[in-house]
Amino acid sequence: NFMLTQPHSVSESPGKTVTISCTRSSGSIASNYVYWFQQRPGSAPSLVIYEDDLRPSGVPDRFSASIDISSNSASLTISGLKTEDEADYYCQSFQTDNPWVFGGGTKLTVL
Amino acid sequence: QITLKESGPTLVKPTQTLTLTCAFSGFSLSASGEGVGWIRQSPGKAPEWLAVIYWNDDKRSSPSLKSRLTITRDSSKDQVALTVTNMDPVDTATYYCFHLGMYGDYVIDSWGQGTLVTVSS
C-alpha cells in the first residue's frame, strides 16, 4: 500500500501562482489517476481536478494539475490567486483494497 | 443537479451502533454507473473512505473497518444507509456521503454537507 504526502501548508499573495505537491510513496504515480479536492472551512470537499489534469465543469481554468514521473508526484497549480482560494487541498488516488486514498492535505493561505 | 444530505444521531455512546442515512436526488442509483459511498473526516484530519454501493448492488468497505460496516440502499426512497457497530470515541468525525458516476465509476463528483457524530459517554 502507498501513501500520498503533501506539504502541511503553503502561502502566497493574491494574484500570484502557487503549486501544491503530492508525492506517492511507492509504485508509480502514473499507475492510477490523481484527483484534487478543495475544502473551504466548514464545508465539504469539492472536486477541482480529476484524472490527473481534467477540470470539472464550473472550475475556473486558474486551476491546473499535472503528474511528474521523475519525482513520482502530482502537482496542483493555482494561478491568479484569490482570497476565495484559501482552503485545504487534498490529493487522492487509488489502491486495490482501499480505492479512495487521500493525502494529508495542504492548507493554502492567501495573504 | 445532484444533491445528497446525511442524517442521523449527533451523539452516540461507546459500544453503540451508529446508523446514518443519505438521502439523494438528481440521479437514480439503479442507473448503470452510479454509486453512493461514505467518507468520514476527523477534526483536522484527511478524509477516510468507509464504504460504497453501486447501481448493480456491488458493495465494498474499507479493509480496516470492514467487520464493523454495513452499507445498504433503499431504491424506493433514494436513500443509502451506513451502519457502524461498536462505536468508539476515535470514531468521532464528520460523516459525508458522496456520489460517483458523473466522471466515472471512481470519481467523487458530489458530496453531502456532512453530519458531525460525536462518540462520548
Beta-carbon separation of A99 and B114 below 8 A:
no
Beta-carbon separation of B111 and A44 below 8 A:
yes
Task: Please write the tens of the pLDDT for every residue from B70-91.
Answer: 999 997 889 999 999 999 999 9
Q: What does DSSP assign to residue A83?
A: G
Ordered strands of the A73-78 beta sheet? A4-5, A18-24, A73-78, A63-68
pLDDT tens for chain A, residues 1 to 111: 899 999 999 999 999 999 999 999 999 999 999 999 999 999 999 999 999 999 999 999 999 999 999 999 999 999 999 999 999 999 999 888 888 999 999 999 999
Task: Please write the tens of the pLDDT for every residue from B1-41.
Answer: 999 999 999 999 999 999 999 999 999 999 999 999 999 99
Amino acid at B40: R
Cell of A30: 502514473
SS3 B49: strand
Q: Is A97 on the interface with B (CB under 8 A)?
A: yes
* Residues forming beta bridges with residue B82, ordered by sequence position: B20, B71
Within 8 A by CB and 6+ apart from A49, the residues are A34, A35, A36, A55, A59, A63, A64, A65, A76
Q: Nearest-CA distance from A22 to chain B in Å?
A: 13
